[in-house]
Amino acid sequence: MIHAWLKRSTLWQAAADAALLALCCLALVLSGTASAQEAEAEEEDEGPALEHVLEFGASYTWHSAALGSGDYEFARYTLERENSFVWELETGHAARFDDSGFGFSTSLSRSLAAGFYAMAGYGTGTGDYEVFPEYRWDVGLGRAFLGEDTVLFALVYTREQSKIANYYDGFGAELEYYRDEHWIAEGFGRYEVGYPGRTTSLSGGAGLTYSVWKKWALGGAVELGSVAYELFDPEEPLVDYNRVAFSAHYQRYLRSNFGFGTHLEYEHNDEYDLFTAAASVFREW
């Protein structure tokens, strides 16, 4: 069953979202970075310095068959110490399928001995049941194989519970290959078991990115697979369709610590066509 896509009921809510995003972008541009003296002091400390990234962005989605559009505005903060840990915090507002709400997520990746690293994440949000889940947990274990080229391999488990009875267990595998200083190739696969009904979804894909350090990056990916889940609707108890998606992304540094990113994605499935456009600005210090 395809639900009607969300349409904003008042102009002031859309204006408030736009004003909030504009204020966030202004705060990002005006946010100070560490001074040269502070940077030199960090370099003198033992171990790598802490790196901070603050990012604000928005994505907009259009459906075929007159299903309308949706949007997501977010703020993301990342704290990293090279070869030690990466901590990420994100909050945002989403609207789609006659539902809207605010979401929150956080994740931590920690380096271990012998090239291993562990990951854990948690997310939740307000709204009914279309935009954010009741909760989502992600845990994973990976291994970095270092040499002339670098290979990263990770296994990830996900449990997501919706605000109704549906939930699923997901099992994913990710492989990244870093060739010299520019090329990044990736492959990924995912298997999900949904309840009730013990439905199964299987997907996989591959991507390629070319980057120049602290200047720009351009890449693309393709993903295909199946999606299945049960609805609590006697007229259509089972949703089951195939999908294929193509995406492209571009990131550009305007200065050594400031830039923007864009992302375009097109999905075709048995139910509808979906087009997504996203953009963000970021500041590092």
* Rounded Cα gap, residues 14 and 185, in angstroms: 39
Of the candidates 163, 168, 97, 158, the residue with the CA atom closest to the CA atom of residue 125: 163
Q: What number of CA atoms fall less than 13 Å from residue 204's CA on the CB side?
A: 7
Q: φ and ψ at 166, to 5 degrees? A: -70, 140
- Ordered by where they begin, the domains of the chain are 11-284 (2.40.160.40)
Of the candidates 280, 262, 285, 255, the residue with the CA atom closest to the CA atom of residue 31: 285
In the chain the beta strands, taken as DSSP E runs, fall at 50-63, 69-81, 85-96, 99-111, 116-125, 135-145, 150-161, 167-179, 183-195, 199-212, 216-230, 238-255, 258-269, 273-284
Question: Which pLDDT score, from 0 to 100, does residue 130 have?
Answer: 80
- Average pLDDT rounded to a whole number, residues 252-278: 96
* Rounded Cα gap, residues 152 and 174, in angstroms: 8
Question: Which pLDDT score, from 0 to 100, does residue 284 have?
Answer: 97
Question: Which pLDDT score, from 0 to 100, does residue 46 have?
Answer: 55
User: Computed from CA positions of residues 77, 50, 82, 112, in that sequence, does the dihedral angle turn out positive or negative?
Assistant: negative
- Is it the case that residue 150 has pLDDT exceeding 70? yes
Percent of the chain with pLDDT over 90: 66
- Average pLDDT rounded to a whole number, residues 124-128: 93
Of the candidates 130, 161, 134, the residue with the CA atom closest to the CA atom of residue 68: 130
* Rounded Cα gap, residues 97 and 270, in angstroms: 18
* Rounded Cα gap, residues 17 and 92, in angstroms: 11
Cα 22 → chain centroid: 21
Least confident of 125-139, 172-186, 231-245: 231-245
Q: What number of CA atoms fall less than 13 Å from residue 64's CA on the CB side?
A: 10
- Is it the case that residue 2 has pLDDT exceeding 50? no
Q: φ and ψ at 94, to 5 degrees? A: -130, 150
- Average pLDDT rounded to a whole number, residues 80-105: 94
**Residues 6+ positions from 178 with CB-CB distance below 8 Å:** 149, 150, 151, 152, 184
* Predicted structure pTM score: 0.81
CB 74, CB 91: distance < 8 Å:
yes
Other beta carbons less than 10 A from residue 123's beta carbon: 17
Other beta carbons less than 10 A from residue 60's beta carbon: 14
- Is it the case that residue 124 has pLDDT exceeding 60? yes
| Tens-digit pLDDT profile for residues 11-49 | 334 444 444 444 444 444 444 444 334 444 444 455 689
Percent of the chain with pLDDT over 70: 82
Question: Which pLDDT score, from 0 to 100, does residue 25 have?
Answer: 45
Question: Which pLDDT score, from 0 to 100, does residue 197 have?
Answer: 86
